[in-house]
Amino acid sequence: MSIPSPPKMATEMALVKPISKFSSSTPIFTNSRYVKFTTVRMSSTSQPTTKTAVKGGKKAAKTAIKETLLTPRFYTTDFDEMETLFNTEINKNLNQSEFEALLQEFKTDYNQTHFVRNKEFKEAADKIDGPLRQIFVEFLERSCTAEFSGFLLYKELGRRLKKTNPVVAEIFSLMSRDEARHAGFLNKGLSDFNLALDLGFLTKARKYTFFKPKFIFYATYLSEKIGYWRYITIYRHLKENPEYQCYPIFKYFENWCQDENRHGDFFSALLTAQPQFLNDWKAKLWSRFFCLSVYVTMYLNDCQRTAFYEGIGLDTKEFDMHVIIETNRTTARIFPAVLDVENPEFKRRLDKMVEINEQLIAAGESDDIPLVKNLKRIPLIAALASELLATYLMPPIESGSVDFAEFEPQLVY
């Protein structure tokens, strides 16, 4: 998800509550993305309580902001262009009655009372140990960061579009409500492991990636839909195989993923209202590019964390391919072109990328001097780039539910 300039931390600060019951003897988390309970306590002003806390917290967090290409990111966009796109005077394709209907749906707030925790959480977390514990923590942390990224972007869009298009703006604000809830729930999950993600610090310290509105639409639509398929697949799997239900958060995924599905549907309506982003050859190329980026990122990420998926009884690659195929089928309803992910060549190439990525990681972790490390990396990066390109150039699937006459855009379902 993306985001503009860091917005004021009001709602989001409510996500990180001080956990005063932990004392200095609380297990220390070595990963510095976390607030150390005894040194930095988040308050409603996001200020650490003591000077030492500031130093300790910042120093720690700085180490943590070391990012890779595969880390969940925060984004920003061109808000002036966004305002133009959603100006009903300028854009006659905006179907305000459809947005009104969507707004009513968001106002219904189906999950208002869904995210309520119970004592099962802490008890379950205490039973998770060994390598799985760390990988569980990482799952919570990455998911929380991704949800929080969505919260920040939607909140800012809600704020910036208020004057131009109050209906669309309110939907964004209500989506940020959902994402704040999701991020908050995941962060509370971290508290079961005696940790908490410092979201206030993350907001200020994290680098924001700039995407033009068009790319925000592609990327966000895909990320909502892939989120939906991930959550629902895990939920259904654990419902059928309850012996792997090792932490209760997964029981919430069924209703939770409906939020993501609604968010994705909203972006689908936004894209339909911007036919220029769907109806030319450039749109086809970009659609395929974003599909590729999102699928490859997920595959490479998950293949580095097979212990997590195996820990809940899933085969990582099978799970990912299922999610990719379903997401791609959903996406084909709106994007003008998608990748042929059901062609066996696609998975073969993904697996090749996993191999190369593993070699890249090994090269980075070796004891070689930086020069040697870099020399070793060059051919690997070239090989990865060539796999990516070959996958991108595979014959695509022409798709989309929107057809356009040459000079007079018209929707045909």
Contacts with Fe ion by CB under 5 A lie at 147, 179, 182, 224, 260, 263
Residue 160 or 263 with smaller CB distance to Fe ion = 263
User: What is d(CA 303, CA 358) in angstroms, rounded to the nearest whole number?
Assistant: 9
Q: Is 255 strand, coil or helix?
A: helix
Residue 76 or 279 with smaller CB distance to Fe ion = 76
Give the nearest distance from C-beta 73 to Fe ion in angstroms: 15
Residues 191, 19 contacting (CB under 8 angstroms): yes
Q: Per the structure block, which two tokens stand in for 333?
A: 């309803």
Give the nearest distance from C-beta 179 to Fe ion in angstroms: 5
Residue 255 or 401 with smaller CB distance to Fe ion = 255
| β-pairing verdict for 74-76 and 208-210 | parallel
Residue 1 or 363 with smaller CB distance to Fe ion = 1
Give the nearest distance from C-beta 225 to Fe ion in angstroms: 10
Residue 147 or 326 with smaller CB distance to Fe ion = 147
Q: Is 36 strand, coil or helix?
A: coil
Give the nearest distance from C-beta 117 to Fe ion in angstroms: 17
Residue 260 or 320 with smaller CB distance to Fe ion = 260
Contacts of 401 (CB under 8 A, 6+ apart): 333, 334, 412, 413
Ramachandran angles phi, psi of 190, nearest 5°: -65, -30
Q: Report CA torsion sign: 245, 251, 254, 258.
A: negative
Sequence-distant contacts of 397-400: CB under 8 A, at least 24 apart: 397/332, 397/337, 397/338, 397/339, 397/340, 398/284, 398/336, 398/337, 399/331, 399/332, 399/333, 399/335, 399/336, 399/337, 399/338, 400/278, 400/332, 400/333, 400/334, 400/335, 400/336, 400/337
Residue 228 or 295 with smaller CB distance to Fe ion = 228
Residue 260 or 326 with smaller CB distance to Fe ion = 260
Give the nearest distance from C-beta 17 to Fe ion in angstroms: 20
Give the nearest distance from C-beta 198 to Fe ion in angstroms: 20
Residue 265 or 302 with smaller CB distance to Fe ion = 265
Give the nearest distance from C-beta 298 to Fe ion in angstroms: 15
Q: Per the structure block, which two tokens stand in for 16?
A: 């990180």
Residue 29 or 253 with smaller CB distance to Fe ion = 253
DSSP letter (8 states) at residue 338: E
Give the nearest distance from C-beta 235 to Fe ion in angstroms: 14
User: What is d(CA 193, CA 394) in angstroms, rounded to the nearest whole number?
Assistant: 44
Please count the other Cβ atoms lying within 10 Å of the Cβ belonging to residue 345.
Answer: 12
Give the nearest distance from C-beta 224 to Fe ion in angstroms: 5
- What are the helix (H) ranges across 251-305? 253-272, 281-303
Residue 115 or 404 with smaller CB distance to Fe ion = 115
Give the nearest distance from C-beta 383 to Fe ion in angstroms: 34
Cite the beta strand spans of 110-241 per DSSP E: 208-210
Residue type, 218: Y
From the list 148, 5, 4, 147, the residue with the least C-alpha distance to 77 is: 4
Residue whose structure tokens are 């607030």: 35
Give the nearest distance from C-beta 264 to Fe ion in angstroms: 8
